[in-house]
Homo-oligomer: A and B are copies of this chain.
Amino acid sequence: MRRLTLLDSTLREGEQFSGAFFTHEQRVNIARLLDAVGVPYIEVPSPISSPETTQAIHELCSLNLRSRIIAHVRCVEADVQAALDTPVHGVNLFYGTSNELRSYSHGRPIERIITDSVPLIRKIREAGRYVRFSAEDAFRSDIVDLLMVFDAVVEAGVQRIGLPDSVGIATPRQVERLIRICAERYPDVGIEFHAHNDTGCAIANTIAAFEGGADCLDVTVLGIGERNGIASLSGIISQLYIHYPEQLNEYDLTRLMELDQYVASCLNTAIPFNMPITSAYAFAHKAGVHTKAVLSNPRAYEILDPGDFGLSRSITVGSRITGRYAVG
């Protein structure tokens, strides 16, 4: 069995969500809850962004969580140095490789991306830390550009490469194909994937990446992130529960609801009603034909057992929700 790792980026990608402004205390609580659920990696912003960020990262590292803290850092010497000056487990580097980002964001050619990145990767490795390099906007990048960059960073010693769908344009089929090309070409490094939800397929794309050979999937709590966000932790857990349950052995699924509710409260909102598992209605049955069957056997209309998440179902009788039924 290929071992799958989840990386939660609520404290980095999630902070890029227009509705999110976490206090320091909230960041600590979120990290503790992620740890309690059992998420292996927690991504944090670059310490160079502000003294408060640096301070927060030091404190998150000092919590001694089982979750490992990874800083998300531009391929800039000072940024990397600032990360290495903190006790983070590792560094997630990123650099836009698509024509769009090369034209409208940083304006640099592929050769420059390589010459900027390679020495920084060596530096991080020499410091004994974990390093990943991500080709931002991988799914609008020319495949020759993409593989030239990956060839160079793998040669330089990265432990993982990342392929984010930064604009939410990819389809499950495209994701699986491109990830598989990379998995075959770079058998000695891990592969990370990250999916924006602009066209509503972040969860499907993320699972397709695993099926193509990725070993690390990015999520955030409730799927918050730039624009309308990325794959949600609850969504990915619902997929793994059904299709790859052995990947959830080390998770405590009964803490998921608390985590989702806590982050929703930080955002001053409710958990979206479309959220798998943690929606207020995820285990609510309303139509007569549904409630009758569910009272006979919940498997009629439930593929996830609410009890496994410490939750219970509710059944509407006579057009009103009249009771919370114990898990049967």
Contact = CB atoms under 8 A, between A and B. Distances in A.
Interface stretch (A80-88, A100-108, A109-117, A120-128): A100-108
9 contacts: A168-B303, A172-B204, A198-B303, A199-B238, A200-B204, A200-B238, A224-B273, A227-B282, A227-B284
What size tier do the contact residues of chain A reach?
35 or more
B227 A299 contact: no
A23 interface: no
B272 A273 contact: yes
Interface stretch (A11-19, A29-37, A184-192): A11-19
A166 to B, nearest CB: 7
A165 to B, nearest CB: 10
A187 B201 CA distance: 29
A227 B283 contact: yes
Contacts of A301: 166-167, 226-227
B242 A199 contact: yes
Interface stretch (A141-149, A253-261, A289-297): A289-297
Q: Which of A226, A228, A270, A302 has the most CB of B within 10 A?
A: A228
Nearest to A297: B104
Given A169-B242, A272-B272, 6 more contacts: A104-B294, A104-B296, A198-B238, A200-B276, A228-B275, A269-B273
Contacts of A239: 199-201
A92 interface: no
Interface string A234-273: 1110110111000000000000000000000000011011
Contacts of A130: none
Given A104-B300, A300-B100, A274 B169 contact: no
B199 A286 contact: no
Contacts of A166: 301
Contacts of A274: 197, 222-223, 228-229, 232, 272, 274
A5 interface: no
A183 interface: no
